[in-house]
């Protein structure tokens, strides 16, 4: 009997092995067949198509089309895009160190980075870039101009710029531009005894810089009562940096994240590996719907470990891990290889790219398939839709007038004029928009033909159109006109109605002129509702 069972078992095993081998052979045949078909399609195009076909462009489009059927994070980068890859993955590139913005058919400098070539050459926000290396920028977009200004560190680029009607040239030597992971850290709260650290990216040395910032804050204020880590708008980056940032506040040997993918040998459990700086200090982490990937590893694991309170809005929900694979001819491919799982065991990926609706769009994980997990202390958390904050703070949306001022760059232009006529302003931590300054801004707008439409105006327009179709227009035309007149009168007061919002826009634009990006961040903290709510939570722990 035993011999017969062994014989049956061996037969089943051999059958399974044979089936697997056949499946692998079938898959290999399908791959070879379709690659041969693709090669012949291009061959026939090259031989017979009426016009010449650019091989690089055609193949790149084919590759992009294939990858677009997967997820938005699996991408191919030819050699010509290596500077973009370095910026995306390492936070660095060869260039002059300045943000640019397009207006009409011209491109302007919107912000030079402190101490980098553009700043050192005296270029300012509001300068119009007329030409790059003798090539006019007229009609070109920001991507074109940015590409022209970037290049290998140590090489020169000549910019012709226009300022206040006068043109001049500057020769700049490109540098390896490394964007700061931590653009600002300091103190918040009434007693200035709660630390604040803003982390923009998870590129190389992000954890080192966060740790240095935290140590510096503790040294400056030995009695520091808490710390706020701001990950809002941080789209993520390197997973190991996320693990090391969590390590600052949790003990060595703590599981932070686990990756699971198709290749079992590449599955990985990541534990903290260093001694922590502080495992007791109250910690608040700020997130929003722009916080993704590594930001969610940090916030989610600290939530699962009950080490921090999470404040803000629900995060993006990117639980996918990418690896960079070298490709022929100095190209690279970024490929999604696994999903990550934080300490409670949950994966916070919000979109299922393996399933599409009738329009070909990837679908969100439905509520019915979300699973409950437990934090270390037993609180319930869920997978499948990002990190849900412990303290939710409703996001603030721009008003119609705020959007119009931003789109027409009127705040930008006013700040440019103001900076050129005022040598200094109060320190960033103290600067506020005075009544006098705001009134001056309102006078500045009078001849700028500021116009914008509201949702109410669009609804009234639709009402008139429907009334005409249904033959009610004569009966209600007077009421519609009355509504339009009332609304127009109300819009005249929008600058006062939305004064607080417009003042914050003005303050941010002026602070970046005088104190660069760190000044803008510092100046916004006093009125930041999410920061203030985090401070309240830390105060409650006293």
Q: Which residue has the tokens 């033909």?
A: 449
CB 473 within 8 A of CB 428: no
Question: Where on the phi/psi map is residue 192: left (φ > 0), alpha (ψ -120 to 50), or beta?
Answer: left
CA distance linking residue 266 with residue 463, whole number of Å:
60
What beta strand segments (E) does 328-452 contain? 331-341, 351-356, 362-364, 372-374, 380-382, 391-392
Beta strands 166-173; 391-392: pairing state: unpaired
Q: What is the pLDDT of residue 21?
A: 55
Counted residue by residue, the chain has a size of 542
Q: Which residue has the tokens 């839709």?
A: 385
For the chain, report the end-to-end CA distance as a whole number of angstroms: 73
- Number of neighbours of residue 372 by Cβ within 10 angstroms: 10
DSSP at 336: E
Which residues, at least 6 apart from 358, have a Cβ–Cβ distance to it below 8 Å?
none
CB 236 within 8 A of CB 293: yes
Q: Which residues of 344-371 are buried (b: 16+ CB within 10 A; e: fewer)?
A: bebbbbbbebeeeeeeeeeeebeeeeee
Beta strands 283-287; 226-230: pairing state: parallel
CA distance linking residue 391 with residue 405, whole number of Å:
32
Q: What is the pLDDT of residue 6?
A: 45
CA distance linking residue 206 with residue 182, whole number of Å:
8
**What three-state secondary structure class fits 459?**
helix
CA distance linking residue 54 with residue 476, whole number of Å:
61
The CATH architecture one would assign to domain 194-202+227-392 is Alpha-Beta Complex (3.90)
φ/ψ of 129, rounded to 5, equals -85, 110
CA distance linking residue 126 with residue 149, whole number of Å:
17
Reported pTM: 0.85
CA distance linking residue 387 with residue 319, whole number of Å:
10
CB 339 within 8 A of CB 347: yes
Q: Which residues are catalytic?
A: 293, 304, 318
> CA 311, 317, 320, 326: dihedral to nearest 10 degrees?
-80
Q: List the chain pLDDT tens, one digit each, 542 residues.
A: 445 544 544 444 445 555 555 556 677 888 888 888 888 988 898 889 888 888 888 888 988 888 888 889 898 888 877 766 666 655 567 899 999 999 989 999 999 999 999 999 999 999 999 999 999 999 999 999 998 999 889 999 999 999 999 999 999 999 988 888 999 999 999 889 999 999 999 988 999 999 999 999 999 999 999 999 999 999 998 999 999 999 999 999 999 999 999 888 878 999 999 999 999 999 999 999 999 999 999 999 999 999 999 999 999 999 998 888 888 888 888 899 999 999 999 998 888 887 777 777 877 777 777 889 999 999 999 987 899 999 999 998 999 999 999 999 999 999 999 999 999 999 999 999 999 999 999 999 988 888 888 888 888 888 888 888 888 888 888 888 888 888 877 877 889 999 999 999 999 999 999 999 999 999 999 999 999 999 999 998 76
- Token code pair at residue 78: 């030819």
CA distance linking residue 371 with residue 473, whole number of Å:
54
**What three-state secondary structure class fits 420?**
helix
Question: What string of DSSP letters covers 175-189?
Answer: EEEE--S--EEEEET
φ/ψ of 148, rounded to 5, equals -70, -35
CA distance linking residue 472 with residue 261, whole number of Å:
63
The Cα-based distances of 420 to 24, 438, 510, 514 in angstroms read: 70, 17, 11, 11
How many helices (H) and strands (E) are present in the chain, helices listed first?
A: 16, 23
**What three-state secondary structure class fits 30?**
helix
CB 459 within 8 A of CB 467: no
What are the domain boundaries of the chain?
30-69, 92-178, 194-202+227-392, 397-542
CA distance linking residue 383 with residue 342, whole number of Å:
10
Q: What is the pLDDT of residue 2?
A: 47
- Token code pair at residue 254: 């703590």
Which CATH number is associated with domain 92-178?
A: 2.30.42.10
């Amino acid at each position: 009997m035993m011999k017969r069972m062994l014989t049956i078992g061996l037969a089943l095993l051999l059958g399974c092995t044979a089936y697997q081998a056949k499946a692998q052979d079938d898959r290999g045949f399908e791959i070879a067949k379709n690659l041969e078909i693709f090669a012949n399609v291009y061959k026939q195009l090259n031989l017979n198509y009426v016009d010449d076909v650019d091989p690089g462009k055609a193949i790149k489009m084919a590759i992009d089309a294939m990858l677009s059927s997967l997820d938005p994070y699996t991408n191919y980068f030819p050699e010509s895009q290596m500077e973009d890859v370095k910026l995306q993955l390492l936070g660095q590139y060869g260039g002059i160190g300045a943000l640019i913005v397009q207006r009409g058919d011209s491109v302007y400098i919107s912000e030079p980075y402190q101490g980098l070539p553009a700043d050192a050459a005296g270029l300012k926000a509001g300068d119009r870039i007329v030409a790059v290396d003798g090539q006019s920028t007229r009609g070109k977009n920001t991507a074109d101009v940015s590409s022209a200004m970037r290049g290998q560190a140590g090489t020169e680029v000549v910019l012709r710029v226009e300022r206040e009607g006068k043109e001049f040239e500057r020769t700049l030597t490109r540098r390896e531009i490394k964007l700061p992971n931590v653009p600002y850290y300091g103190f918040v709260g009434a007693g200035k005894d709660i630390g604040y650290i803003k982390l923009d990216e998870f590129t190389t040395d992000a954890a080192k810089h966060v740790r240095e910032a935290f140590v510096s804050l503790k040294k400056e204020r030995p009695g520091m009562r808490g710390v706020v880590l701001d990950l809002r708008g941080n789209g993520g980056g390197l997973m190991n940096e996320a693990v090391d940032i969590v390590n600052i506040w949790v003990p060595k040997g703590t599981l932070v994240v686990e990756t699971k993918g198709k290749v079992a040998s590449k599955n990985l459990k990541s534990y903290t590996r260093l001694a922590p700086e502080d495992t007791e200090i109250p910690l608040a982490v700020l997130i929003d719907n722009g916080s993704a990937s590594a930001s969610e590893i940090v916030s989610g694991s600290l939530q699962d470990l009950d080490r921090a309170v999470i404040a803000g809005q629900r995060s993006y929900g990117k639980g996918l891990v990418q690896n960079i694979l070298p490709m022929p001819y100095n190209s690279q491919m970024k490929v999604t290889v696994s999903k990550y799982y934080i300490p409670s065991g949950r994966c916070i990926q919000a979109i299922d790219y393996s399933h599409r609706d009738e329009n070909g769009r990837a679908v969100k994980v439905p509520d019915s398939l979300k699973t409950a997990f437990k934090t270390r202390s037993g609180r319930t958390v869920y997978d499948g839709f990002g990190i849900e904050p412990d303290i939710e703070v409703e996001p603030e949306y721009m008003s119609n007038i705020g959007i119009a001022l931003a789109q027409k760059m009127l705040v930008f232009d006013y700040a440019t004029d103001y900076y050129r006529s005022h040598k200094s302003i109060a320190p960033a931590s103290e600067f506020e928009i005075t009544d006098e300054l705001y009134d001056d801004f309102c006078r500045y707008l009078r001849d700028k033909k500021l116009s914008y439409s509201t949702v109410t105006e669009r609804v009234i327009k639709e009402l008139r159109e429907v009334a005409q179709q249904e033959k009610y227009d004569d009966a209600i035309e007077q009421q519609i006109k009355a509504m339009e007149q009332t609304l127009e009168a109300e819009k005249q007061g929008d600058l006062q109605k939305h004064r607080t919002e417009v003042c914050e826009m003005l303050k941010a634009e002026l602070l970046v002129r005088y104190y660069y990006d760190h000044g803008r961040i510092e100046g916004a903290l006093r009125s930041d509702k999410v920061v203030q709510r985090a401070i309240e939570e830390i105060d409650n722990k006293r």
